[in-house]
Amino acid sequence: MIAKQQPPGPADAYSTEQDLRIWLGDQFRRYGDVFKASIYGANVYVVSAPDLVEHVLLRNWQNYVKGQAIKRIALLLGKGIMVSEGDLWIRQRRMIQPAFQRKAIGGLADLIARVNRELLGKWAHAARSNTQVNVTHDISGTVLQVVLRSIFGDDYEVVAPHFNILSAEPERSLQFADAFRPLADIVIRLARKRSEQNRPGTDFLGMLMQARDREGQPMPERQLAREIMTLVVAGHETTASVLNWTWYLLSQDPVAEQKLGQELDELLGDEFPQIDELPRFAYTRQVIEEAMRLYPPGWLMTRKALKDDQIGDYFVPAGTEIYIAPYLIQRHPGLWEEPNRFNPDRFSPELSEQRHALAMLPFSAGPRNCIGEYFARIEMQIHLMIIAQRLRMIYEEKAPAELVAGVNLLSRHDFLMTPQLRAQPYKLSDLNSLDGLRPDAAHGALGSVGGIRSHRKIPGS
């Protein structure tokens, strides 16, 4: 029997003058795991209990389409894999999935390491001259370079000047959308050129060009462009955001920073490990997991009920928007001890075993989870291993970091930090012998991406 009871909730509608993240947190503390609210003119249930989230994202996922939040993304990216529904989504997911298999991603480890060594070179140079670096900006540029090189391969130099807008302009405004959308034509021209030359390539673009549906048909070129644009945006912002927060959190916690350094000293020699050895670096992974727990880039997911349903004790009328906020769930005091404290040890195997699988949702869950999860995890780990083995980052700003909860969870201000060479078994001269570590070479190599000036305000400016 379907319940007719509706959950409790505030009488007043959410007002857009308020920060939605803070408002949702206030209501969550007042009404608990399921509450009803009027948000942006829609009837919304905000669900923060993992077993109920499991119902929406896994057990009864077919009753839910993507909700309000996706409209904003759709205006930017069109109907790619993140936005589409039904048969189109199934078809696209099947065609794209092979490109994200572990074997395919494993082949990108060298590329990820190479680009991050360039960043290490730049930051090591700053360490020697005791100068600050803009961590937010440099990471954004580095991650964008990894994404663009993974997608466009040898055509990177052709596309990079156009797509650098992603790093140069962090606001996802109408103006940004207006400038970004026409880049789909560049993707189409590139795909046509590769087709004419009969060289699709082995990068993501090439793999998607060669993908076929069950009828043996390739993606229409406009759909191909939409998927590539989606991969560029999704692959860039989320990973860059997590790494940005990771450095901030490490800069605030000398114990965790030291523990991370010790693991990297013991396990990571001069040779970078094979990709299947990465799981050995357990603490490195725990640091990243903890950063994603506290600052999930996709801090809010929305779904819309197609038919009447029941969530826990509550009746869900068709058309109800369901808000699932990883930001709330991952700081839920019933699920996490000292939820606001940075503590990578909470992700030890023993403690993780006791936790509901959906207490963590940084990549969503179920059939509509993030297709690029493995790629993102590998990229973040390689970045952290390469940089944290050599450097620690000093952040002198005393005020707590502020959040901006838009489409992604960003820091309001760029993080300016001073890199410091870590005291460890390697010699300073070793730094100069590594590829990309000469300061001049590093600046040159990063210039095309990292050299763009940020328009974001920095603390104190």
Partner 1 sequence: MSVRSTITAQFEQVATEQKRKLARLSDDLKLLDSGLDSLSFALIVMRLEESFGFDPFDVADDVQFPVTFSDFVRMYESHPK
Helix H or strand E segment including 254:
helix 254-267
Of 153 and 406, which CB lies nearer to partner 1 in the complex structure?
406
Least distance (Å) between residue 168 CB and partner 1: 18
Of 75 and 428, which CB lies nearer to partner 1 in the complex structure?
75
Least distance (Å) between residue 42 CB and partner 1: 8
Q: How far apart are CA 450 and CA 447, in angstroms?
A: 5
- 21: which 2 tokens? 């993240």
Q: How far apart are CA 213 and CA 95, in angstroms?
A: 6
Least distance (Å) between residue 246 CB and partner 1: 28
Of 79 and 443, which CB lies nearer to partner 1 in the complex structure?
79
What DSSP string describes 77-91? H-SSTTT--HHHHHH
Of 78 and 121, which CB lies nearer to partner 1 in the complex structure?
78
Of 22 and 174, which CB lies nearer to partner 1 in the complex structure?
174
133-134 and 314-316 as β-strands: parallel, antiparallel, unpaired?
A: unpaired
Least distance (Å) between residue 66 CB and partner 1: 11
Asked if 48 and 325 touch (Cβ cutoff 8 Å), the reply is: yes
Of 68 and 132, which CB lies nearer to partner 1 in the complex structure?
68
Q: How far apart are CA 157 and CA 175, in angstroms?
A: 25
Q: What are the beta bridge partners of residue 303?
A: 66, 322
Least distance (Å) between residue 140 CB and partner 1: 20
Of 71 and 193, which CB lies nearer to partner 1 in the complex structure?
71
Least distance (Å) between residue 439 CB and partner 1: 40
Least distance (Å) between residue 122 CB and partner 1: 33
Q: What are the beta bridge partners of residue 299?
A: none
Of 41 and 460, which CB lies nearer to partner 1 in the complex structure?
41
Q: How far apart are CA 96 and CA 223, in angstroms?
A: 12
Q: How far apart are CA 111 and CA 144, in angstroms?
A: 13
- 143: exposed, middle or buried (C-beta count within 10 Å: 0-12, 13-18, 19+)? buried
**Contacts to partner 1 by CB under 8 A:** 16-17, 40-42, 68, 71-72, 74-76, 78-79, 88, 172-175, 177-178, 181, 222-223
Q: How far apart are CA 288 and CA 247, in angstroms?
A: 10
Of 175 and 258, which CB lies nearer to partner 1 in the complex structure?
175
Of 263 and 321, which CB lies nearer to partner 1 in the complex structure?
321
Nearest to 223 by CA among 88, 21, 127: 88
Residue written as token pair 């009837």: 43
Least distance (Å) between residue 448 CB and partner 1: 28
Distances in whole angstroms, Cα of residue 91 to Cα of each of 95, 234, 347: 6, 19, 36
Dihedral, CA of residue 105, residue 107, residue 110 and residue 111, to nearest 10: -70
Query: What's 133's DSSP letter?
Result: E
Least distance (Å) between residue 447 CB and partner 1: 31
Amino acid occupying residue 210: Q
Least distance (Å) between residue 437 CB and partner 1: 41
Dihedral, CA of residue 148, residue 150, residue 153 and residue 157, to nearest 10: 20
Q: How far apart are CA 162 and CA 159, in angstroms?
A: 6
Least distance (Å) between residue 179 CB and partner 1: 10
Helix H or strand E segment including 206:
helix 204-210
Of 29 and 72, which CB lies nearer to partner 1 in the complex structure?
72
